[in-house]
Amino acid sequence: MMDIDSKSAMLLARAERVIPGGVNSPVRAFRSVGGKPVFVARGHGAYLYGENGVRYTDYVGSWGPLILGHAHPAITSAIAEAANRGTSFGAPTELEVRYAEKIIDLYPSIEMMRAVSSGTEACMAALRVARGFTEREAIVKFECCYHGHADMLLVKAGSGALTYGVPDSAGVPAAAAKNTITLAYNDRAALEALFQARGSEIAAVIVEPVVGNMGVVPPEPGFLEAIVRLCKNHGAVSIFDEVMTGCRVARGGMQARAGVRPDMTCLGKVVGGGMPLAVFGGRRAIMEKVAPLGPVYQAGTLSGNPVAVSAALAQLDCLNDEVYGKLEALGARLERGLTEATKKSGVNACVQRVGSMITLFFTKGPVRSFGDAVRSDTARFGQWHQGMLERGQYWPPSQFEAAFLSAAHTEADVDATIAAAAEVFAAL
Ligand code: HOZ
């Protein structure tokens, strides 16, 4: 076991004086697991190196983007080359055209797209475009899906908002949230009833096609198809928020894996190559509403930034069948190992996984929706998390998040993680 802390503790004390909670995003704070964040000095491949000199096997992967691991040479050299040509122009580049062509090639549901700087921006813009296109105001989201921190979406939100007990954030005007309707994830009957009653008011339904932001919760058969069909029948826009799943659960995202085609898609994380870059796009008729073609305004100084786009193109160029085959095999190995370890130890837990996204819920399962996820024993998860950290395993510091594998992980890494998990289960 390792001493995780003196340097991180000193840095945290300094950070807490000048940054709320000492972190630039609440999910990094470790408060819900009763620990202190590790301050990171550097990352290489599947490993993070703390300022305390400890090496951790990383299952956070910057919360999803690092599908090839840290500091992949193809990406770092693309970044260096791009930076030498200039870091920002605020004018169109050939790179952005290439990037848009690449995304459109990977996602047949996207006929036109725009680049933005974060998943929050992508979802916020997609909903504005959907409202402009339909000339309607109501939007539908699912409980504890998280689509970034725009006002209208901080309603029964997942991720850090759920972890820290503020799913309906303070500071959101009632007027901003009043047109947001929430339903339970996977509740197809409730969605059908809603469309039956109020179909002509609904501009859009936004969904994480696999939820990552309450822990990994897959869609039940027919759920995604029902969303797309109901939207189509009632003149609403279906939006898949594939910020987490895009190029993660398959090169073409969950829509490719499930064989479903939404009207609009939001992408981020993996498609940004570890840089601040995200995408919204969809059917041409909808995207033609975006200014300067149409009346829906959306803009950004750093949108399509050449350094970010270069990193993203380098990452996308590496994503071949071999990478996805390896991720699937490693994911299955980790799922199997953790499941066996929970069974042996008698811990009340279940493992849910889609591809290289995985969650160990401290509840019996299956977890189909927030109502199930919230039954998890979060105190126990916190103890387990702490035990894993002490054994050099860097797992997301919340019960309600997905862990991610990268192509840099090895079978030996995964086996060591399973062994550490079994040790911690036995000690709980
Ligand atoms: N959306 C990510 C976790 N669910 C991480 C972004 C953040 O909130 O920092």
Average pLDDT estimate for 166-184? 93
Choose which residue among 19, 23, 24, 25 to substitute to test ligand 1 binding: the one with the highest number of ligand atoms within 8 A of its C-beta. Answer: 25
Distance (Å, whole) CA 409 – CA 416:
11
**pLDDT value, residue 291:** 98
Identify the band that residue 222 occupies on the pLDDT scale cut at 50, 70 and 90. Answer: very high
More confident residue, 270 or 161: 270
Q: What angle do CA 400, 25, 380 make, to 5 degrees?
A: 30
- Please answer whether residues 115 and 100 qualify as being in contact, where contact means their C-beta atoms are separated by less than 8 angstroms: yes
pTM score, whole prediction: 0.97
Mean pLDDT, rounded, of the chain: 96
**pLDDT value, residue 161:** 85
Distance (Å, whole) CA 90 – CA 306:
10
**pLDDT value, residue 79:** 98
The one catalytic residue among 56, 146, 185, 324: 146
**pLDDT value, residue 2:** 44
Average pLDDT estimate for 174-199? 97
Average pLDDT estimate for 264-289? 98
- Tell me 154's DSSP state: -
For ligand 1, atom 9: residue with the closest CA: 25
pLDDT at residue 127 greater than cutoff 90: yes
Identify the band that residue 186 occupies on the pLDDT scale cut at 50, 70 and 90. Answer: very high
Is 321 tagged catalytic?
A: no
Identify the band that residue 165 occupies on the pLDDT scale cut at 50, 70 and 90. Answer: confident
In b/e form, how buried is each residue of 224-240, taking b as 16+ CB within 10 angstroms?
Answer: bebbbebbeebebbbbb
For ligand 1, atom 6: residue with the closest CA: 63
Distance (Å, whole) CA 240 – CA 198:
21
Distances (CA, A) of 44 to 34, 50, 61, 136, 322: 27, 12, 11, 48, 21
- Packed helices 411-427 and 321-345: angle between N→C axes, nearest 10 degrees: 20
Average pLDDT estimate for 296-313? 98
**pLDDT value, residue 164:** 83
Distance of CA 179 to the CA centre of its chain: 24
**pLDDT value, residue 8:** 83
Percent of the chain with pLDDT over 90: 94
- CB of 63 shorter than 6 A to ligand 1: yes
